[in-house]
Chains A and B, each alone.
Chain A
């Protein structure tokens, strides 16, 4: 009898340990995947977003994203019609600044930036900062063996309430994601289509976001011009600034 109890205890401890191991793994995995998306602690990258309605291509929009640390983002609108506009995210708060106005308008990361891309899809890409990861299972996607993580929002500034995240086993590269709202509604999905080798690093080159409600729409985000750079704090100043 004693022996059985011992075996039970051991078994319990082992699975608990395995679980904890898995948990530790999940968050670490997430951090790893973030590096592939963000590349550096402080950087500037250009994104071109093309929106599609069915097969038809709509306008392109250009943005310059400046990220400092995990929670400061400045997104400048570069398209000719949108010149002078920028987004600022500090901690959990986000604002949009419009030319010819003297104060910003408070917005949320979930609101649409353009097409299927929410503000947060562009300005908030350090998932480990915003979400708690739990290991679900492993799954094969196409050719790749993937870890499947369930991410739950842990901050007010998190874009989505829940994300299902497929990361490639060999290098934690994001393969695809499913996004869920607080109500549980499956709102969008994304595929991480292409990665670039540059300067010894691998970084996300292309991301496609699909609308799960209006099944016909999707947006393609193309990343280019990555530059790891020191960024001054005053770029992320909440008050009104003239062009930086």
Chain B
């Protein structure tokens, strides 16, 4: 069998120019897929990290009831004993920080005018420690140790309330048991998220202030930050059993379960990539099917001779497919090498693309090299070439010997 492999190998290089053209086309397809796929990977990575860093965290811990039914009042489905759960989570490996949050809403008033707010309460020191500080366009971030109730408000809300840092406002909310309650707050900073709908409603106060306003010791959730995103699954598996014991049922969500925008983007671009793969597939088939057919015609007499000598027809099919596969392997190697090389060049080039919507800085053009992608692209062209060679191969094997021998 080795001789057949050798025959196939030598046949590939029979017409060097033709083989080179096929290699160029196929390798080009592979390299193209690697570059686009690598860039998409980079974008996903960037979006993933920025989503996590903008406050989502890597894992979030809730009371299981949170997902089962809606609350009639804020914190009805909140997390009890969160300090205990925090310390459990904090002890796990790879955990950089655990912080509690309360999500609530109510009315905000400057004495003349009221508006609705969508608020969150945080532990400022911990949030800062985990890198979750929002962009403060005026004033400063919250100080957990300050007197009074410090608050950040969204730019739109600040405008509608006509306040600037240093001014005061009053919050009105319905407490955990359905009563009305109010507190005064001092605006320390104004936040711009870039999304108008958020800026018109955003309010951030400290955990103790919210707990006073809502008359509850609970929190909405705990946010866990890790050292590296890749450790998410491991930490999830480690913490989950430890939280089983307590009386309230606890649910843990990974960032991927909560990052719906990220998932949508990812699905969209993955779909685009698949579409590209289909294009490459057709490109390879078109360009190689014809050359393979030509090659077969040129060897008609040779094929006739081999058949005359008693070569089984299946061996001939195998020979042609093997030749295509060898070409595919060579093309894949060249393509992967080109993709990696070009990718490295692009990474070094420092090209910066225009900023995507919502961001300020430009997006630097970078390509991530993923082994899985390389193997996938290589396999794609290999299989494509093998498939493309099937028809010429079968045609070859079906030649009538006498006619083939008489071929020019």
Contact = CB atoms under 8 A, between A and B. Distances in A.
Contacts of A22: none
A101 B114 contact: no
B170 A102 contact: yes
A228 interface: no
A106 B170 contact: no
B168 interface: yes
Contacts of B180: 82, 85, 96, 98
A9 interface: no
B179 A103 contact: no
Chain B interface size, under 10 / 10 to 19 / 20 to 34 / 35 or more: 10 to 19
Interface string B167-194: 0111010000001111110000000000
Interface string B107-125: 1111111100000000000
Contacts, number: 45
B114 A107 contact: yes
A105 B172 CA distance: 7
Interface residues of A, number: 14
A82 B177 CA distance: 13
B183 A106 contact: no
Interface in A105-129: 105-107
Contact of B111 (A98, A104, A107): A104
B113 A101 contact: no
A81 interface: yes
Contacts of A99: 182
20 contacts: A96-B172, A96-B180, A98-B170, A98-B172, A98-B180, A99-B182, A100-B182, A101-B170, A101-B183, A102-B168, A103-B109, A103-B110, A103-B111, A104-B111, A105-B107, A105-B108, A105-B182, A106-B112, A106-B113, A107-B114
Given A101-B183, A104-B170, 19 more contacts: A82-B180, A85-B180, A98-B170, A98-B182, A100-B183, A101-B182, A102-B168, A102-B184, A103-B109, A103-B111, A103-B169, A104-B109, A104-B111, A105-B107, A105-B109, A105-B172, A105-B182, A106-B113, A107-B107
Interface of A: 81-82, 85, 96, 98-107
